């Protein structure tokens, strides 16, 4: 976590019992646009490929995890708290979840097209192929604070 994110985190929790763990990250694809959707109350869910957690040896997210969302310049823009985590094959993601991701016209068709493109590229970078039944880590979250 960079110094700006640490400072934001510490100032936000000053005088309150601070959660033990926090991560700071950008949304993939369009970090600024997606972060703004969170701030605007449009985006309340996100997903990532399960395989990337394995490759990067990162722990899976869990309920009550806190995250500092960063913009494309690695500046903190808000704090979110994970409220639900499910692991689902991509072809089993619901229309309601796609809508909660808040992107484009919020339709399932838009969500699917954009995510196929994103995961095809991301998997290709590590020598893997996209599959419609690839496992996704689907997270729902709530906005806690806006910087």
Report residue 60: phi and psi, to 5°.
-70, 150
Q: Please say whether the beta carbons of 146 and 39 come within 8 A.
A: yes
Q: What is the mean pLDDT of residues 69-85?
A: 97
pLDDT classification of 62: cutoffs 50, 70, 90: very high
Helical segments of the chain, H only: 3-13, 31-39, 50-55, 95-100, 108-125
Domain boundaries, the chain: 3-11+19-146
Q: Write out pLDDT tens, residues 21-42.
A: 899 999 987 999 999 999 999 9
Query: What pLDDT, on a 0 to 100 scale, did the predictor assign at position 91?
Result: 97
Q: Which fold has domain 3-11+19-146?
A: Sulfate adenylyltransferase (3.10.400)
Query: What pLDDT, on a 0 to 100 scale, did the predictor assign at position 21?
Result: 83
Q: What is the mean pLDDT of residues 51-66?
A: 95
**CA–CA dist 44, 119 (Å, integer):** 20
Query: What pLDDT, on a 0 to 100 scale, did the predictor assign at position 3?
Result: 95
Query: What pLDDT, on a 0 to 100 scale, did the predictor assign at position 23?
Result: 94
Q: Write out pLDDT tens, residues 87-131.
A: 999 999 999 999 999 999 999 999 999 999 999 999 999 999 999
Query: What pLDDT, on a 0 to 100 scale, did the predictor assign at position 20?
Result: 82
């Amino acid at each position: 976590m960079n110094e700006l994110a640490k400072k934001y985190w510490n100032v936000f929790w000053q005088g309150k019992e601070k959660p033990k763990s926090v991560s700071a990250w950008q949304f993939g694809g369009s970090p600024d646009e997606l972060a703004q959707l969170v701030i605007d109350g449009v985006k309340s869910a996100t997903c990532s490929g399960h395989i990337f957690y394995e490759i990067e040896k990162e722990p899976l997210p869990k309920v009550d995890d806190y995250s500092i969302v960063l913009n494309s310049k690695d500046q903190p823009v808000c704090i979110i708290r994970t409220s639900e985590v499910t692991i689902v094959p991509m072809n089993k993601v619901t229309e309601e979840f796609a809508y909660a991701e808040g992107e484009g016209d919020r339709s399932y068709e838009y969500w699917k097209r954009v995510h196929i493109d994103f995961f095809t590229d991301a998997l290709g970078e590590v020598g893997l192929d996209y599959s419609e039944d690839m496992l996704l880590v689907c997270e729902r979250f709530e906005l806690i604070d806006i910087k």
